[in-house]
Each structure stands twice: as C-alpha cells, then as structure tokens.
Amino acid sequence: MRPVDELAADLLRRGTPLRIKARGGSMTPFVRDGDVALVTPAAGHVGIGDVICYETPAGKLLLHRLIARDGDRLVAKGDALAFAEILDRTRLLGKVVAVERHGTVKRFDTRVAQWRNRVIAVLSPCVPPLLLLALGVRRLWRMAWHA
C-alpha cells in the first residue's frame, strides 16, 4: 500500500473529509484524470449512483460508482469500465460530494445531481461502448480537419 493511500484511508475512517486527486480513466467522462474529488467519510447513507471511495484488498483507493447492492456487499463500477467489482461494506471509506476541474466545482450531492447519478448507474453498462464510439468519431473528426 502506498503511504498516501494508507494515510487517506485512515483519515476517512476517523471522519475527516479529504480532497483526493483522481488518477486514471476508469470514471471518464464524469470524473477525469487530474480532477480533485472532495470525499466525505462514509458515516451516512450511500445510494445507488453515488461515486464512492473504497479500499481494494491490496490497499489501493478507488473512486467508482455504486451501481447495486448485494446483501451486505456493494457493487461498484468505473463508468468507463466493462466490469463491476463486488466489495464488502467494510471497505467503503467515503462518498464523493464534489469534483473540481480547472477551477470549476461540480457538486454530486444536490438533488438534481443525485438523480443524474442514478440514471448514470442504470445506464452504466452502455457507457463503455458509447465512450469508445465517441473517441472513434473524435479521432475521425480530427483526421478530417488535419487532412
């Protein structure tokens, strides 16, 4: 486990909110690499569609969307990923309530955002192929303009 992940997990378990820099593309396009996520401890309720912060068995922190519950376990998935992960509720550390990108803050905890997040969770299986299609169209568009 990286010392930063270990410290962040410990602080969230103690009830301290954190700002975490997102790394990777698993949550594209809703949370992008380099975005700063405001994560609050998971003391309260997390709902379907919420972007959660959890710890993997290897001790790595992930920000993925809660797409379902399976008894006491949670099903989380990166929006751009084709697979989901089942985790014990004990691995849940927090909930992303806002994301900052280029000086603009996008709230995830407003009533409208919560509805949007639920819709994204329902449509989650469709996002990876649509993302690939959008990237392909973008690539063709750029080639046409630079030709």
> What's the pLDDT tens digit per position in 2-51?
777 888 899 899 999 999 999 999 998 889 999 999 999 987 689 999 99
* H or E, element range at 146: helix 127-146
Ranges assigned E (strand) in the chain: 18-21, 36-41, 51-55, 61-70, 73-77, 85-88, 92-101, 104-107
Question: Domain map of the chain by residue range?
Answer: 3-146
> What's the pLDDT tens digit per position in 70-119?
888 999 999 888 889 999 999 999 999 999 999 999 999 999 999 999 98
Is the pLDDT confidence value at 67 over 90? yes
Res 147: pLDDT? 62
Going 81 to 86 to 92 to 96, the CA torsion angle's sign is: positive
**Which neighbouring-strand residues pair with 76?**
66, 85
Is the pLDDT confidence value at 1 over 60? no
Residue 87 CB partners (closer than 8 Å, separation 6+):
54, 73, 74, 76
Max CA-CA distance within the chain?
56
- CATH of 3-146 given 3.40.50.10310, 3.40.50.1370, 3.30.56.10, 2.10.109.10: 2.10.109.10
Whole-structure pTM value: 0.83
